[in-house]
Amino acid sequence: LDFQSGRELTPRQWLEKPRQSLTALHEFRPFIAMVLRIAQKNGIRTVCIYHDGRWGETDPVRSGLDVPLTQGGTITSYPYFSGDLLFPSLPRDLSTVSPVEIFFSPLPPQLHDLLREHALRVLGGEIDSETATNSFYDTVESDPHHWLTLPDDFVAPPELWVRAVGRKEDRAARCSCWFTAPMWNVGVYFLTSVALAVAAHKILR
């Protein structure tokens, strides 16, 4: 999502002409540059996740997070950034903060992997954020067909989803909620609050 124009890229759009996708990707440059600058300045904070029946700390960028798929099963998602207090993203404790989770992923997967690779180099002190941004776009422009074409076996993760973890009838319980396409334009903060309420109600019920 381009926060300035409100434009949104969906997985289906990446199947069209790579040159058009490249033009659209440039609209996201200010956002990507901003995130990499914040990563360079603030680093990455760990998040608290529920995995294998217990809560624990993890580095989401290096270790990944489980994302539930609407068709069943999960995939491992690797955010290229965690630590911006503006949104806030990836809340550590649902009981003490207003939880809003925002994931941004420039599809297709190989493009996301390229950006994550540059983010890790910034975090490791190998390059600065400006160099990373320029290198990312230079690499994509050198072969847009490779970087901007979806693989045939691509399974799109949910654009917006929320998961609530608690106890039901004295047993561990977890509920996931996904948003349908017409709901995306309502607003992230409102939608996340509604989904959390629904998920919590299902666990309590």
pLDDT digit string, tens, across residues 102-160: 445 556 788 888 988 998 899 899 999 999 999 999 999 999 888 988 777 776 666 66
3-state secondary structure of 63: helix
> Within a 13 Å sphere around the CA of 134, how many CA atoms are in the beta-carbon half?
5
pLDDT, average across residues 19-32: 82
pLDDT at res. 129? 95
199 or 17, which is more confident: 17
Long-range contacts of residues 151-159, Cβ cutoff 8 Å, at least 24 apart = 151/108, 151/109, 151/110, 154/11, 154/108, 154/109, 155/69, 155/71, 155/75, 156/11, 156/107, 157/67, 157/69, 157/75, 157/77, 157/105, 158/67, 158/68, 158/69, 158/70, 159/10, 159/184
| Residue ranges covered by each domain of the chain | 11-158, 160-205
Cβ count within 10 A of residue 30: 13
CA 48 from chain center: how many Å? 16
pLDDT at res. 134? 97
pTM for this predicted structure? 0.64
Cβ count within 10 A of residue 79: 22
- The conformation of residue 90, written as its DSSP 8-state character, comes to S
pLDDT at res. 85? 46
For 182, the token pair is 């017409």
The string of DSSP letters for 144-179 reads: HHHHTS--TT--PPPSSEEEEEEEETTEEEEEEEE-
pLDDT, average across residues 192-203: 56
3-state secondary structure of 1: coil
163 or 33, which is more confident: 33
51 or 63, which is more confident: 63
Rounded to whole angstroms, how far apart are CA atoms 151 and 154? 5
